[in-house]
Amino acid sequence: MNAIIFSENASVDLTAVLGELNYSSLFILTDENTKEYCLPLVEEVFPSNSTFFTIAPGEKHKTMATCLQIWAAMTAAQLDRKALFLNIGGGVLGDMGGFCASLYKRGIRFINMPTTLLSQVDASVGGKLGVDFEGLKNHLGVFNEPETVIVASEFLKTLPEQELRSGYAEIIKHGLIRDKTYFESLDFEHWKDSFWTPLIHHSVEIKRAVVKEDPKEAGLRKILNFGHTIGHALETYFLDGPRHLLHGEAIAIGMICEAWLSHKKLNLSETELRQIQAAFLKVYGNVEILDTDVPDVLDFCLQDKKNEGKELMFSLLNSIGDCTYNIPVTREEIQQAIQYYQNLPQT
């Protein structure tokens, strides 16, 4: 499993990491946002012959077309197999940059510097890499661990509130699937005032423990997908429209819907269901989902990677802190779960 450095000074720790690695050249990938706000915090440490490449930000650019641009730039820079690839960005950039590094010349080493709360607590662990394809999220990808991940808290100061809120959904998820005490310690009313460093540490340790036991998602690791079957479908459906949702915003809806499924199909009590939905509604409010949206969202659920044949397989909660996996759910039950969310009182 990759080394994770929790850093209070990104440039100092990056200097140390680069000093320990023997590499022929350095390729640095940023998006337009991280080039402007994050790169200046560390750019003084790079060798003079480094190659910089910048892509457009956002999930809609997480495609093979963007990968072709990255590979072309790597080829133009004449990177050999001893080159080192550095990703400075959020989950989209880390997924795609790691994917490009893993395929270039059958694989070169890469380092991740996650710059969003979401990527620091989620994408920094587990080695899942990939891109969206034919409108399907993370449809093409590989498992491959970075050499090192540098989780630098100073990057969070560059984020708008909406991006912090998106990342908070994964923090909540980690408590729901694995640690009830952690979930109940979170302040949903004043989440913006959270002290992020200990939350990031705790969430990373929860995910690392799960991934260590099941690195290739053969079993237990599937619990990390709680909320993500319906959430990813909503994220994909709304991706290019005026009602665009960030990942965490979509996953928050997915977790309410899948908590309802947990109540209907497993042992999750009505008290805990209401506790879960109250937490998410305090942080994220209600998002309008029209009846005309639902058929397409259901179709996207059918493409989820956890499905087995035509059977839709979910990770659901027995109780807060106790998640199980491979629970079959029908299309009609998913529709009922979305209708449950649509009918919640407006906050």
Report if residue 347 sits inside a domain: no
221 and 311 share a domain?
A: yes
Q: How many domains does the chain have?
A: 2
277 and 221 share a domain?
A: yes
Using DSSP bridges, classify how beta strands 51-55 and 109-114 pair: parallel, antiparallel or unpaired: unpaired
97 and 179 share a domain?
A: no
**Gap between the Cα atoms of 171 and 184, Å rounded:** 12
> What pLDDT sits at residue 305?
67
C-alpha R_g of the chain: 20
Low-confidence ranges of the chain (pLDDT < 70): 1-2, 305
**Gap between the Cα atoms of 10 and 152, Å rounded:** 6
182 and 323 share a domain?
A: yes
On whether the pTM is more than 0.85, the answer is yes
What CATH number is given to the structural domain containing 249?
1.20.1090.10
State which of 135, 157, 179 marks the end of a domain.
157
| Domain span including residue 61 | 3-157
What CATH number is given to the structural domain containing 104?
3.40.50.1970
165 and 74 share a domain?
A: no
State which of 157, 183, 205 marks the end of a domain.
157
Centre a 10 Å sphere on the Cβ of residue 163 and count the other Cβ atoms it contains.
20
Report if residue 276 sits inside a domain: yes
Report if residue 253 sits inside a domain: yes
**Gap between the Cα atoms of 314 and 8, Å rounded:** 38
> What pLDDT sits at residue 1?
56
Strands (E), 57-127: 84-89, 109-114
166 and 270 share a domain?
A: yes
DSSP 311: B
**Gap between the Cα atoms of 196 and 216, Å rounded:** 29
